[in-house]
């Protein structure tokens, strides 16, 4: 009998991907681990576990700064906008698939066209509109912009999905005498769940992480979103890196935890519009 050493398959891919894993995880590790050190220990050894654990930075950020307020604002805008997108988008998609007319065909093309144009180009006019509506400096200014921004992808993904639903399913409901809205609510929405999830994830990350529109629209502390608030805290804590890193960690953690729990759906959701469009 001949013995061969067990050969590890795919050595080169493992070396390359392993190296990239280090490149990705090193900054994240640095961020988390140093946020738990004493101010001066950060400078002595930035790479390894703290010699003395320090949770003070987190307590300070959570108790003595506007961080919780910013956090609530972001949660409010992100969740609120996504709920509205799902509601309006699924109703529109329902109509677009079933209504055979010139108007619906044009509307579809018009809505989908928005996938190709970054809304930032319209910033100058959006500022005027938000100002005229009296929404400047309030968190409310973000809702209409985000809902509009999310609509093209929502309509696209949802109507693709509705087209795949077999006719029989809604036919039965129609024979039972269910009206359109009842079919929408009790047949369509439950079936649409996976697609609604995709749309929600697609919008979750850009809304939560958006800097541009909050920076343009909002100046008042009480209305700032998390990421906009981070810019202020970053300046305020400039000399205390432990605190800065605590702020960065806290602002990244919610999305990161969600991502780690359902990375498949995230990857699918975030690349969905891009691949199919």
Partner 1 sequence: MPSIGQRRNRPGNSNWNWIFYLLPALVVYTFFMAYPLLNSLRLSFFTGSGFELSRFIGFDNYIRLFKDPQISERYWGDFKNTWIFFAVHMIVQNVLGLLFANLLTRKGLKGSDFYRTVIFLPATLSILVTGYLWKLILNPQWGALNLILGKLGLMGEPFAWLGEPSTALITISLVSSWQWVGMPTMMFLAGLQNISGDLFEAAAIDGASRGTVFWKIKLPLLRPIIGIVAILTFVNNFNAFDVVFAMENVNGAPQFSTDIMGTFFYRVGIAGQHPVGIPDRGVGAAVATLTFILLAIGVSLIMGIANREDRR
Distance CA 169, CA 83 (A): 25
Find the shortest distance in angstroms from Cβ 155 to partner 1: 7
> Interaction with partner 1 in 178-237: which residues (CB under 8 A)?
179-180, 184, 205, 208-209, 211-212, 216, 227, 230-231, 234
Q: Is the dihedral of CA 268, 269, 274, 276 positive or negative?
A: positive
Residues in CB range of 41: below 8 A, 6 or more apart: 50, 51, 52, 54
Is 275 a binding residue for partner 1 by CB under 8 A? The answer is yes
Q: Which is nearer to partner 1, 16 or 59 (CB)?
A: 16
> Interaction with partner 1 in 62-81: which residues (CB under 8 A)?
none
Distance CA 123, CA 211 (A): 13
Distance CA 123, CA 60 (A): 36
Residues in CB range of 106: below 8 A, 6 or more apart: none
> Interaction with partner 1 in 37-56: which residues (CB under 8 A)?
42-43, 46-47
**Count of beta carbons in the 10 Å neighbourhood of residue 202:** 24
Find the shortest distance in angstroms from Cβ 147 to partner 1: 5
Is 13 a binding residue for partner 1 by CB under 8 A? The answer is yes
* Lookup result for tokens 């809505």: 111
Single residue of 54, 78, 242, 251 touching partner 1 by CB under 8 A: 251
Find the shortest distance in angstroms from Cβ 212 to partner 1: 6
Judge contact between 172 and 183, C-beta under 8 A. Answer: no
Single residue of 68, 171, 193, 221 touching partner 1 by CB under 8 A: 171
Single residue of 4, 63, 116, 176 touching partner 1 by CB under 8 A: 116
Find the shortest distance in angstroms from Cβ 223 to partner 1: 18
Binding-site size for partner 1 (CB under 8 A) equals 102
Of residues 239, 247, 215, the one with CA closest to residue 228? 215
Find the shortest distance in angstroms from Cβ 101 to partner 1: 7
> Interaction with partner 1 in 126-155: which residues (CB under 8 A)?
126-129, 131-132, 144-145, 147-149, 151-152, 155
């Amino acid at each position: 009998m001949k013995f061969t050493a067990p050969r590890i398959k795919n050595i080169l891919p493992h070396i390359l991907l392993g190296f990239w894993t280090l490149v990705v995880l090193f900054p994240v590790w640095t961020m988390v681990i140093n946020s738990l050190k004493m101010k001066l220990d950060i400078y002595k050894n930035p790479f390894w576990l703290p010699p003395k654990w320090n949770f003070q930075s987190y307590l300070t950020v959570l108790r003595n700064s506007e961080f919780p307020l910013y956090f609530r604002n972001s949660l409010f805008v992100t969740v609120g906008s996504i709920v509205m997108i799902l509601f309006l988008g699924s109703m529109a998609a329902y109509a677009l698939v079933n209504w055979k007319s010139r108007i619906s065909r044009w509307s579809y093309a018009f809505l989908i066209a928005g996938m190709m144009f970054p809304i930032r180009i319209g910033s100058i006019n959006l500022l005027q509109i938000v100002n005229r509506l009296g929404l400047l400096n309030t968190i409310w200014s973000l809702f209409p912009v985000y809902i509009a921004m999310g609509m093209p992808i929502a309509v696209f993904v949802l109507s693709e999905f509705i087209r795949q639903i077999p006719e029989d399913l809604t036919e039965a409901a129609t024979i039972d005498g269910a009206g359109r809205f009842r079919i929408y609510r009790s047949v369509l929405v439950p079936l649409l769940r996976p697609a609604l999830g995709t749309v929600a994830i697609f919008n979750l990350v850009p809304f939560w992480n958006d800097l541009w529109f909050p920076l343009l629209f909002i100046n008042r502390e009480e209305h700032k979103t998390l990421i906009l608030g981070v810019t202020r805290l970053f300046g305020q804590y400039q000399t205390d890196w432990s605190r800065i890193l605590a702020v960065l960690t806290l602002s990244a953690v919610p999305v990161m935890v969600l991502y780690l729990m359902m990375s498949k759906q995230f990857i699918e959701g975030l690349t969905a519009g891009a691949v199919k469009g």
